[in-house]
Amino acid sequence: MDFNDNQEEAAFRTEAAAWLKANVPSVDELNGLDDIAASKLWQKRKYDAGWACIRWDKEFGGRGATAIEQVIWNQEEGKYDLPGGVFSIGQGMAAPTMMTWAAEEHHKRFLPKLASGEEIWCQLFSEPAGGSDLAALRTKAERDGDDWVVNGQKIWTSGAHYSDYGIIVVRTDPNVAKHKGLSYFFLDMKSPGVEIKPIRQLTGGANFNEVYFTDVRIPDSQRLGEVGQGWQVALTTLMNERASIGGGSSAVNVDMAYRIANEVMIDDKPAIEDGAVRAKLANWYVQESGLRFTGYRSMTAISRGEIPGPENSIGKLVGAPKNQEMASFCMDLLEMSGAIWDDEMSKEAGIIQMNYMGAPGLRIAGGTDEIMANIIAERVLGMPQEPRMDKGMPFSEVPTGSN
Amino acid sequence: MNFEFSDEQELLREQARGFLADNCPPAVVRAVLDGESDHDAELWRKVAEMGWTATVIPEEFGGLGLSYLELVVIAEELGRAVAPIPFSSSVYLATEAVLALGSTQQKEKWLPLLATGEAIGTFALAEGNGRPSAKSLKTKMSGAGLSGRKLPVPDGRAADFAIVVGSSDSGDGASMYLVELDQVGVSRKAVRTLDFSRGHAVIDLKDAQAELLGGEGVGWSALEKLMDRAAVLFAWEQVGLADAALEQARDYAMGRYAFGRAIASYQAIKHKLAGMYVKNTLARSNGYYGAWALDSDSSELALAAATARVGAIQASVHAAEENVQTHGGMGFTWEFDCQFYYRRAKLLSVNIGSEGYWQDRLITAMEQNNAA
């Protein structure tokens, strides 16, 4: 049992670290660029040198690297503060779905531009009536010649306003059971009839959108999977979503809380001397450490060429509520001034308050706490699903709250 | 990255699990729970025959000279089986104390006997209610011998000798002594604890013959180091127990029907069990960290041990409690085995210091790492 790379892994790590050291963009280079421009600059540089999407085949712009090499690359790249979040949905979710389901010519056309960062993709799954019960979505598509005509509304679409393409699940047959009437497409986000409206979140920011579809035409050639097979295709995407969202690491962590607890006072003594403070920090350390070493166990499985066990599914279920609890606790440590959310005046430049405000979203995105617990119970522990009222019922007859 | 047990260690686990399924089924635990004896002497003899008591003792002292990774595998399986034997006292505490602090003479005398299981050792720290400290200890050496009252002492009646922590006027205020328990100056009485499957005793020492173990006045710092090592081993017993309790809850929920369906299909039950799984997984992964630190004699041992211990306490107590609740009324009966885990989990969680003690040790280790 050790933490060391084997010989090939160590060689790969050295090579990756050296390339990063020589090529990471300087502050000057990124100065004045917005997040998208900065992300594109860095992504293109990686692509040109063969360090973009390294798990992908070389013909698609990747490096043909192994899973463990991907982990090592992520660790090394993670040592720098780099732009690039705008690509995570396209590269992490749309691309694997395209690789599994799209035609050869689509691979050639779209994958290299996903890898190079030239094109950005978004994911159009959730709807006002389809959240945890995603398959209850209602946006409909009707066949018209070689096209499908789409009408309806999507919601919670990250980055819709700057995306070039989107993956979308729609209902093509309302008269069969819920999961059987869905089909999956990709579309040009500049298509006529697509209207994007930002959603203002409780944080005050606007990272998500509502996307309205009015008679939007999608060519049948952009369908992935058979008509009615959309749910199966969507599962490919969702499996990759859970792999890419992860969890556990956060700016608000035990290091930060420990630092604050050493600076602020309780009864004229550093807060870190308070027994209740120590107990809480210890508990969160146990969670952070537990997630870290769970990750090491998964990495070991990957290193051995195995598929990691289900242990990793706990990352988000532990990490997201922990982030909220710790942010709340750090504000408590600051007592009355904990309420101040101001980049200049707040301790830690307002990161604590920002995390507290954003935390409810993290506990929902990519599967709520409750859905994550269901997944563990069903897929890991083998417990049965709850009986479903809509099982086998034509979708058009399924009861809803609105009728 | 190689953060897993080796194939040989996995083989050992398989053998251990099979052996305990044959030799330590629930009926064996129940017999000790229902009976008058402090432990199952027959199981102890068989476990010793398997060489488990000899695992980390060097070959020159009659041991197998294996690593702590082998020992944690065995600990996990003993925890799963809720084995009613003095393994933790004799192996994780007494053997470790003699290995770490014993003179050549003490090692030559005791290690071969500990290896074969002929001698059972234990560890006597507590002197009644509250968290002990070097200052609080009343047990003391005088010209005539060691005197004081140790309460409770796990496996105190089964043990042949005890490592006794006593007060000292020098150094850190404590010294450790090796005391043979079959002597005029020692009297022992059974103490009832919440886990009837593990015997405990009150030991009164009156001018007892005792040998210093390690130096005079270094007992408290030696104790903390010893506790770190034991914490990792206890943690693995607790992790094994926690998983066994979760599996029992899952199996029951799958077979128990209410309102026309298995209770395992209700989210209230699924989320309860998913919560157990999360705590168990974190505890297991922290157990790996502890095992690595113990095996590699890492400078991170204090932090790793406290982390493993806190996680294991939380997981095992939670799993044992919620396992009973998942069983409903039947879980509250004497007839059902849920009580084994419920009793043992709480016993193990206070045996070498409570959750609060180890949370404090964890932050202290963090402070020391930051200062260094």
- The boundaries of every CATH 1.10.540.10 domain in chain B are 7-118
Taking an 8 Å cut-off on Cβ atoms, the answer to whether B363 and A272 are in contact is: yes
Cβ pair A293, B289 in contact under 8 A: yes
Q: How far is A398 from chain B (nearest CA, A)?
A: 22
User: A 296-325 residues with CB below 8 A of B?
Assistant: 296-297, 299-301, 303-304, 311, 314, 317-318
* Nearest residue of chain A to residue B289 (CA atoms): A293
- The boundaries of every CATH 2.40.110.20 domain in chain B are 122-216
CATH class of B122-216: mainly beta
Under 8 Å CB-to-CB from A318, ≥6 apart: which residues? A247, A248, A287, A290, A291, B278, B282
* Nearest residue of chain B to residue A384 (CA atoms): B265
Q: Look up the ipTM and state it.
A: 0.96
Out of B264, B285, B358, the one facing A293 most closely (by C-beta) is: B285
Q: Would you state the CATH architecture of domain B7-118?
A: Orthogonal Bundle (1.10)
User: How is residue B265 written in tokens?
Assistant: 């299909």
Under 8 Å CB-to-CB from B329, ≥6 apart: which residues? none
Q: A259: part of which helix (H) or strand (E)?
A: helix A254-263
Out of B275, B277, B360, the one facing A278 most closely (by C-beta) is: B360
Chain A touched by B253 (CB under 8 Å): yes
Q: pLDDT value at position B178?
A: 98
Taking an 8 Å cut-off on Cβ atoms, the answer to whether B291 and A381 are in contact is: no
Kindly tell me the sign of the dihedral angle through the C-alpha atoms of B288, B294, B297, B298. Answer: positive
Cβ pair B73, B233 in contact under 8 A: no
Q: How far is B369 from chain A (nearest CA, A)?
A: 12
User: Could you count the other beta carbons within 10 Å of the beta carbon of residue B85?
Assistant: 32
Cβ pair A39, A83 in contact under 8 A: yes
C-alpha–C-alpha distance, residues A208 and A366, integer Å = 13
Under 8 Å CB-to-CB from A165, ≥6 apart: which residues? A90, A94, A110, A119, A120, A121, A122, A186, A187, A188, A189
3-state secondary structure chain B: CECCCCHHHHHHHHHHHHHHHHHCCHHHHHHHHHCCCCCCHHHHHHHHHCCHHHCCCCHHHCCCCCCHHHHHHHHHHHHHHCCCCCHHHHHHHHHHHHHHHCCHHHHHHHHHHHHHCCCCEEEECCECCCCCCCCCCCCEEECCEEEEEEEEEECCCCCCEEEEEEECCCCCCEEEEEEECCCCCEEEEEECCCCCCCCEEEEEEEEECCEECCCCCCHHHHHHHHHHHHHHHHHHHHHHHHHHHHHHHHHHHHHCEECCEEHHHCHHHHHHHHHHHHHHHHHHHHHHHHHHHHHCCCCCHHHHHHHHHHHHHHHHHHHHHHHHHHCHHHHHCCCCCHHHHHHHHHHHHHHCCCHHHHHHHHHHHHHHHHHC
Under 8 Å CB-to-CB from B33, ≥6 apart: which residues? B84, B196, B197, B339, B340
Kindly tell me the sign of the dihedral angle through the C-alpha atoms of B75, B78, B82, B86. Answer: negative
C-alpha–C-alpha distance, residues B225 and A55, integer Å = 45
Cβ pair A313, A239 in contact under 8 A: no
Provide the residue-wise pLDDT of chain A in tens; the chain has 403 residues.
Answer: 888 888 999 999 999 999 999 999 999 999 999 999 999 999 999 999 999 999 999 999 999 998 889 889 988 998 998 998 899 999 999 999 999 999 999 999 999 999 999 999 999 999 998 889 999 999 999 999 999 999 999 999 999 999 999 999 999 999 999 999 999 999 999 999 999 999 999 999 888 999 999 999 999 999 999 999 999 999 988 877 655 444 446 789 999 999 999 999 999 999 999 999 999 999 999 999 999 899 888 888 888 888 777 766 798 899 999 999 999 999 999 999 999 999 999 999 999 999 999 999 999 988 899 999 999 999 999 999 999 999 999 999 998 887 4
What residues of A are in contact with residue B274 (Cβ under 8 Å)? 317, 372-374, 376-377, 381
What percent of chain B clears pLDDT 70, i.e. is strictly above it? Answer: 100
User: How is residue A132 written in tokens?
Assistant: 């945890």
Taking an 8 Å cut-off on Cβ atoms, the answer to whether A279 and B356 are in contact is: yes
Q: pLDDT value at position B189?
A: 97
Q: Among B152, B52, B57, which Cα is nearest to B96's?
A: B57
C-alpha–C-alpha distance, residues A34 and B201, integer Å = 71
Chain B touched by A389 (CB under 8 Å): no
Q: Cα-flanking dihedrals φ and ψ of residue B256, to 5°?
A: -90, 125
User: With 0-12 CB in 10 A as exposed, 13-18 as middle and 19+ as buried, what is B143?
Assistant: exposed
Out of A6, A281, A384, the one facing B363 most closely (by C-beta) is: A281
Taking an 8 Å cut-off on Cβ atoms, the answer to whether B3 and A384 are in contact is: no
Q: In which band, very low, low, confident or very high, does the pLDDT at B165 lie, cut at 50, 70 and 90?
A: very high
* Nearest residue of chain B to residue A8 (CA atoms): B1
C-alpha–C-alpha distance, residues A92 and A85, integer Å = 11
Cβ pair B310, B349 in contact under 8 A: no
Taken in order of first residue, the domains within chain A and their CATH numbers are 7-120 (1.10.540.10), 122-232 (2.40.110.10), 246-366 (1.20.140.10)
CB pairs under 8 A between A and B: 159
Under 8 Å CB-to-CB from B41, ≥6 apart: which residues? none
Q: How far is A105 from chain B (nearest CA, A)?
A: 39
Q: Pairing mode, if any, of strands B161-167 and B121-124?
A: parallel
Q: pLDDT value at position B372?
A: 82
User: B 286-305 residues with CB below 8 A of A?
Assistant: 286, 288-289, 291-292, 295-296
* Nearest residue of chain B to residue A370 (CA atoms): B271
C-alpha–C-alpha distance, residues A178 and A231, integer Å = 9
Taking an 8 Å cut-off on Cβ atoms, the answer to whether B265 and A377 are in contact is: no
User: How is residue A114 written in tokens?
Assistant: 């996903």
Asked whether the bond before B152 is cis by omega within 30 degrees of 0, the reply is yes
pLDDT in tens, B274-322: 999 999 999 999 999 999 999 999 999 999 999 999 999 999 999 999 9
Q: Which amino acid is at A318?
A: V
Under 8 Å CB-to-CB from B11, ≥6 apart: which residues? none
Chain A touched by B256 (CB under 8 Å): no
C-alpha–C-alpha distance, residues A351 and A251, integer Å = 7
Q: How far is B261 from chain A (nearest CA, A)?
A: 9
Distances (CA, A) of A89 to A168, A231, B50, B283: 13, 18, 54, 32
pTM above 0.90, yes or no: yes
Residues in chain B: 372
Out of B265, B266, B286, the one facing A286 most closely (by C-beta) is: B286
Cβ pair B126, B195 in contact under 8 A: no
* Nearest residue of chain A to residue B309 (CA atoms): A286
Q: Cα-flanking dihedrals φ and ψ of residue B159, to 5°?
A: -75, 150
Which residues of A are known catalytic residues? 241
CATH of B220-371, one of 1.20.140.10, 1.10.1510.10, 1.10.10.10, 2.60.120.260: 1.20.140.10
Q: Pairing mode, if any, of strands B257-258 and B145-154?
A: unpaired
Chain A touched by B285 (CB under 8 Å): yes
pLDDT in tens, B23-71: 999 999 999 999 999 999 999 999 999 999 999 999 999 999 999 999 9
Q: Pairing mode, if any, of strands A269-270 and B121-124?
A: unpaired
- The boundaries of every CATH 1.20.140.10 domain in chain B are 220-371
C-alpha–C-alpha distance, residues A352 and A346, integer Å = 9
Give the start-end residues of each E strand in A220-289. Answer: 223-224, 265-266, 269-270
